[in-house]
Amino acid sequence: MDKKITIISGASRGIGRAVSLRLAHEGHFVIVLARNAEEIGELEHEIDEAGGKALAIACDISDEKQVEEAVNQVIRDFKRIDCVVNNAGIGVFKHADQLEADDWDRVMDINVKGSFLLTKAVLPHMKAVGKGHILGIASDVSKRTFAGGSLYTASKYAQHAFFESLRREVRSLGIKVSVVYPGLVDTYFHGEAQGEVKQAEYLHADDIAQAVSYILNTPPHVLVDEIMLHPMCQEW
């Protein structure tokens, strides 16, 4: 198998879907993960119809057993994993005293523990061959805060810290770690449908996919630590 074997979490819509379509078009065999089996099944079909290669695996990224089973299936089928895009994420935006403990657990479990679980599951396979590329889709609010964002920004700061530390642990082993920090992107994340007029000036999901593609296409001696992108309409 000449194609790069690339796992993308949160692939059913938004940024993950755009990354999956772009990487498949560029010749990756994409393993698309999300909870909604129907949506990722349709994405697999769409990629296959366009001449690409995809495999959909329904998986809740916050569930250790499901993540391990998904990675084991990829290893059984393909023997290796070249790249992983940790993209699955959600936001809950309330003032701190309005947050429920359950909100806290859900956001942290998906945004932070999900990145940890998928990374932990793939690392032994990358270490065994001395190469691999792990990406995180974090946020510009990994580096700034705002009222109503205590939970979401805490999760994105944590994701940022996790990947920054990870880079220091695995670079000498030949494994790259890169993080993309988007500003506002037109997806389903803000509670609107993708393409709604309100989001017309936001970044497009494929803008993020292009950044991911750039990062993954650098030559072996180049490591892109991070890329931050904003739409022109958003002051940072």
Interface residues with ligand NJP (CB under 6 A) are: 9-16, 34-36, 39, 60-62, 87-90, 110, 137, 139-141, 182-185, 187-189
Least distance in angstroms from the C-beta of 69 to ligand NJP? 13
Nearest 5°: the CA angle 211, 212, 217 is 100
> 100 vs 105, which CB is nearer to ligand NJP?
105
> 23 vs 219, which CB is nearer to ligand NJP?
23
Which H or E run contains 136?
strand 132-137
Question: Could you tell me if 186 and 200 are in contact, meaning their C-beta atoms sit under 8 angstroms apart?
Answer: yes
Least distance in angstroms from the C-beta of 14 to ligand NJP? 2
Alpha helices in 50-189 (DSSP H): 64-78, 101-107, 114-129, 150-170
152 is catalytic: yes
Least distance in angstroms from the C-beta of 32 to ligand NJP? 9
Q: What pairing do the DSSP bridges indicate for beta strands 132-137 and 29-34?
A: unpaired
> 10 vs 132, which CB is nearer to ligand NJP?
10
SS (H, E, C) 12-36: CCHHHHHHHHHHHHCCCEEEEEECC
Question: Could you tell me if 115 and 89 are in contact, meaning their C-beta atoms sit under 8 angstroms apart?
Answer: no
> 85 vs 224, which CB is nearer to ligand NJP?
85
Least distance in angstroms from the C-beta of 189 to ligand NJP? 3
As annotated, the active-site residues are 152
